[in-house]
Structure 1
């Protein structure tokens, strides 16, 4: 029996997590971006918007696998949401904190493929401006925090590393898809 598979895309803002996820879903419809629960304001696309009360109930029931605060919002990975995502296919979870990776891998049994998507700080700034972000300074602060996070966790291992300035989103998606196929083949051997 094959274990359920999931993908974690880790990287700083504008490293290509959204773009690579779109390429993955175009490559194979079994992939779908995991919609984290978001408590706060701003962009709602790609999130399940929630309330502080919902967050409190999830915390009280032990349903929160990981939560972080950034840009004045709280972003939650919840067990119930992940179960729904796994029932539909292969969830693609976006993270920018190594602690989040660890919480997810340790807290939700699955065959997780952990992928580092990377771009230089200047590229984050250019991409952020190009997509019309109004909070570029905050995005650059998050890039700095991601770099510091990596420096604090030098033993972190990646199943795949992709420089998104050198690889197209479609190529990155093919590499991720091949990685999952290899892992599934190894699990059945």
Structure 2
């Protein structure tokens, strides 16, 4: 039996995680962004909005794989949600913390391909402003936190590292798809 495959896109805000995920979905419909549980307010698109009670129930059941707080909200990768995402295809999980990557890789058995998407800070600022974000300053602070996170985890390894200012999203999606095909072939060999 083939192991379940998933993709983790790690990178700072506006590094292209949404755009690359769209390109992956366009390449093959089996790819779908994992909708993290979001407890808080603000943008709901791309999330499963939840309550503090739901979060507490997941925590009590041991079903929180990783949770982090940013922008005044709590973002959760939960075991039932990831299970449902694998049942539907190949989940693409967006993360901005190395600890989150490690928690997911160690906490949910699957063949995870981990991709570092990167762009310079000024590009995050330009992209954030260009898409009309009202919280660009917070996104720049998150970019700084992501850079610090990488500096604090020099041993972090990536299956692919892509500078999204140099690689178009469609090319990036093809590289990720090729990586998964290679890994699937190696797993069955």
TM-score (norm 2): 1.00
For the pair 1:79 / 2:79, whether they are aligned, the reply is yes
Q: Which runs of 5+ in 1 are unaligned?
A: none
**What is the number of residues matched between the two proteins?**
189
CA deviation profile, 1:133-172 (whole Å, cap 9, x unmatched)? 0001000000000000000000000000010000000000
- Give how far 1:123 is off: 0.1
Residues in 1 aligned to 2:13 and 2:119: alpha-carbon distance in whole angstroms: 9
Residues in 2 aligned to 1:27 and 1:70: alpha-carbon distance in whole angstroms: 31
Residues in 1 aligned to 2:61 and 2:182: alpha-carbon distance in whole angstroms: 36
Residues in 2 aligned to 1:84 and 1:167: alpha-carbon distance in whole angstroms: 31
Q: Which runs of 5+ in 2 are unaligned?
A: none
- Give how far 1:173 is off: 0.2
For the pair 1:146 / 2:139, whether they are aligned, the reply is no
Which residue does the alignment assign to 1:175? 175
SS of structure 2 residue aligned to 1:2: coil
CA deviation profile, 1:38-82 (whole Å, cap 9, x unmatched)? 000000000000000100111011010000000000000000000
- Give how far 1:89 is off: 0.4
Which residue does the alignment assign to 2:52? 52
Which residue does the alignment assign to 1:69? 69
For the pair 1:16 / 2:7, whether they are aligned, the reply is no
SS of structure 2 residue aligned to 1:156: coil
Which residue does the alignment assign to 2:103? 103
SS of structure 1 residue aligned to 2:179: helix
SS of structure 1 residue aligned to 2:66: strand
Q: CA RMSD in A?
A: 0.3
TM-score (norm 1): 1.00
SS of structure 2 residue aligned to 1:166: coil
SS of structure 2 residue aligned to 1:87: helix
- Give how far 1:179 is off: 0.2
